[in-house]
Amino acid sequence: MPTALITGITGQDGSYLTELLLGKGYQVVGMVRRSSTVTLERLEHIQDDIIITQGDLHDQSSMVALIEEFKPDEVYNLAAQSFVPTSWSQPLLTAEATGLGVTRILEAIRLVNPKIKFYQASSSEMFGKVMEVPQRESTPFYPRSPYGVAKVYGHWITVNYRESFDMFAASGILFNHESPRRGLEFVTRKITNTVAKIKLGQAKELRLGNLEAQRDWGFAGDYVEAMWMMLQHPHADSFVIGTGETHAVREFCELAFGYVGLNYQDYVIQDPRFYRPAEVDLLISDPTKATNELGWTTKTSFRTLVEMMVESDLKRLSKK
Ligand code: NAP
Ligand code: G4F
């Protein structure tokens, strides 16, 4: 039975990846940082099937100890300070966790067992003010937030360990992926949660920032499969993962409100508080390399994703 160590197991992607790996017969070990409250909400249904252990991206010795104890065959580094606006208010913490944290885990692997396969959760935020449309593996990076800058560091240190130490270090450049388990502060979930509240009479309006920003949104359940596929590939490489389609925040609103029979224009208020110091205006992927070399393609349409998220929030909030 292969063993996988997942950092960031309590997050959106961590929960879907855990389900996938359990289904493939892996023993799954999840690294969780110490908290005074329980953070295992997304894993409640599979908690008995996995090993949860403490560790932190800020603490190298905790990661060395985990790798020594559990001897993983694969390490998936999903942990990060992942919310872009927070990266302007906490730039150093973001650099430490999202950037330097990658070197700490790579070093832990190199010191304990350099044969372990490593996956780094890189991001389309690295393309920022895009230099090419659509974006592919060779598109130059131009990050627009401290988060994007930290992810560029994480990506290049992964490539560097691959080239310097011949380690199997893969980097997945994933475009935005969402689900009913998405954090409530990200725009998609903020929209679907508030749409459900408005429909149920629990809210009256939805305050948003830039409605014109365009994103390539896919379903997180499809994307974790690409992570696993990258580690089964004959050699470590970097891959862009996305749908190849882009939609504006405004369009997401239109579909989500429309699904419950409402017009978004009656409820959405643009609020300067949610504008960013520097915006990423347009993201759209070219996932050809992943399709050709990994056999990966997205399975869930944009409409299905929006409807799945609204449905789930309606169900959850009606129970309260
Ligand atoms: P998420 O829901 O925000 O989860 C982040 C995870 O990182 C949580 O488990 C969090 O733990 C953990 N974490 C944060 N700081 C940590 C630290 N210092 N030590 C240990 N764990 C720490 O993010 P996600 O959407 O699942 O994304 C997973 C990864 O993919 C992230 O690296 C993200 O930057 C990257 N990514 C995401 C997308 C996307 O669209 N979702 C796209 C490209 C790349 P707590 O539960 O304790 O907070
Ligand atoms: O949902 P968002 O906060 O995601 P963002 O900034 O694209 O970052 C996400 O995707 C990245 C991949 O490209 C990940 F690496 C990262 O970890 C994260 O998962 O914002 C999407 C867009 C932005 O252009 C933002 O300005 O929505 C716009 N927006 C408009 N109103 C808003 C809001 N975003 C948020 N969070 N809240 C708003 O009220």
- How far is it, in rounded angstroms, from Cα 57 to Cα 91? 16
- Cα(88) to ligand 2 centroid in Å equals 13
Mean confidence (pLDDT) of the chain: 98
Domain extents in the chain: 3-177+217-241, 183-216+245-318
Q: Which atom of ligand 1 is nearest to the CA of 173?
A: 43
The finding on whether 39 has its CB within 6 A of some atom of ligand 1 is yes
Catalytic option among 15, 82, 122, 123: 123
Over residues 283-301, the pLDDT tens digits come to: 999 999 999 999 999 999 9
**Closest Cα to atom 40, ligand 1: which residue?**
176
Q: Which ligand is nearest to the CA of 226?
A: 1
Backbone angles phi, psi at 174, to 5 degrees: -90, 135
214-235 per-position pLDDT tens digit: 999 999 999 999 999 999 999 9
Is 147 known to be catalytic?
yes
- Give the homologous superfamily in CATH for domain 3-177+217-241: NAD(P)-binding Rossmann-like Domain (3.40.50.720)
From the CB of 15, is ligand 1 less than 6 Å away? no
Nearest CA to ligand 1 atom 9: 8
CB of 237 sitting under 6 A from ligand 1: no
- Please write the tens of the pLDDT for every residue from 120-139: 999 999 999 999 999 999 99
The matching CATH number, chosen from 3.40.50.20, 3.90.25.10, 3.40.50.2300, 3.40.50.300, for 183-216+245-318 is 3.90.25.10
In angstroms, the CA 53 to CA 32 distance is: 6
The average pLDDT across 7-23 equals 98
Q: How confident is the model at residue 189 (pLDDT cuts 50, 70, 90)?
A: very high
User: Measured from the CB, is residue 240 less than 6 Å from ligand 2?
Assistant: no
Strand ranges across the sheet with 117-123: 51-54, 27-32, 3-7, 74-77, 117-123, 169-174, 238-241
pLDDT at site 144: 98
Distance 204 CA to ligand 1 centre (A): 31
pTM above 0.85, yes or no: yes
From the CA of 186, how far away is ligand 2's center (Å)?
Answer: 6
Q: Does position 320 have pLDDT exceeding 80, yes or no? A: no
Q: Closest Cα to atom 3, ligand 2: which residue? A: 186
**Which residue reads 């419950």 in tokens?**
260
- Quote the tokens at residue 126: 């690295």
Q: Is 93 in the pocket of ligand 1 (CB under 6 A)?
A: no
Say how many residues make up the chain.
320
User: How far separated are the first and last CA of the chain, in Å rounded?
Assistant: 41
Determine the pLDDT at residue 156: 99
Q: Is 123 a catalytic residue?
A: yes
Query: Is 90 exceeded by the pLDDT of residue 5?
Result: yes
Active-site residue, from 147, 161, 259, 264:
147
Strand partners, 214: 248, 282
Does residue 12's CB lie within 6 angstroms of at least one atom of ligand 1?
yes
| CA 54/CA 10 separation, integer angstroms | 12
